[in-house]
Amino acid sequence: MAEIEEKVGIGESETKNVSVTDIPQKKSTLFQPGWKGGPGRPKGSVSPATRLRNEMAAHGEKIFNELMRQIDSGKAKPRDLIGALQFIVGPLRGEMGAVKVEGLSEAVTYTQKLEALERAVANGEISPDASNLITNQLKTAEQARMMNTINDRIAQLEGVVINGQAKRVTV
């Protein structure tokens, strides 16, 4: 353990070796090894925003009715109700279940798959968000296929060079 010297008394010759562990410190404020940014919020504590959100959720129906009464009387605007609901419920996150797109599994090329997705969105079979997720997955898969093709061609070209002479390759 690292040692530090602490001056004790008036004279310079009087010193005392003190270990770092001898220095009184609060455990909750110590940075723990392997913990980025320190120990964080104590277990079981609730942030003020969460406390307020829980309180509003407990009285959600009363708040909703009061806001509707105020909107009807012209004292509040609908955006106030929307803001309160978003605060209580939190941001809405779309959850996508299994999606069946007609013609997608039969499509061979990347372009054909994208066209099947376009048709599904245009016909209202899937949402644009679902289409974006599927498109990103298709794009990643297509890039992986292209990289495999490039790697195969490089391997073929490297195998054709014999005695420093390049041979013509037909693919």
- Work out the average pLDDT over 74-78: 86
Name the percent of the chain lying above pLDDT 70.
64
- Work out the average pLDDT over 44-66: 81
pLDDT at 5: 43
Split at pLDDT 50, 70, 90, the class of 47 is confident
Q: Name which of 58, 60, 124 is nearest 86 in CA terms.
A: 60
- Reduced to 3 states (helix: H, G, I; strand: E, B; else coil), residue 168 is coil
Q: How far is CA 33 from CA 18, 20, 26, 92, 122, in A?
A: 22, 15, 16, 37, 55
- Work out the average pLDDT over 61-82: 85
Q: Is the pLDDT at 119 greater than 80, yes or no?
A: yes
d(CA 134, CA 141): 11
d(CA 26, CA 90): 36
Split at pLDDT 50, 70, 90, the class of 64 is confident
Query: Which tens digit of pLDDT belongs to each residue from 9-42?
Result: 444 444 555 555 555 555 555 666 666 666 667 7
HEC string for 40-76: CCCCCCCCHHHHHHHHHHHCHHHHHHHHHHHHHHCCC
Split at pLDDT 50, 70, 90, the class of 140 is very high
- Reduced to 3 states (helix: H, G, I; strand: E, B; else coil), residue 125 is coil
Q: What is the pTM of this model?
A: 0.40
pLDDT at 49: 78
d(CA 72, CA 48): 31
d(CA 56, CA 74): 23
pLDDT at 31: 62
DSSP 109: S
pLDDT at 139: 93
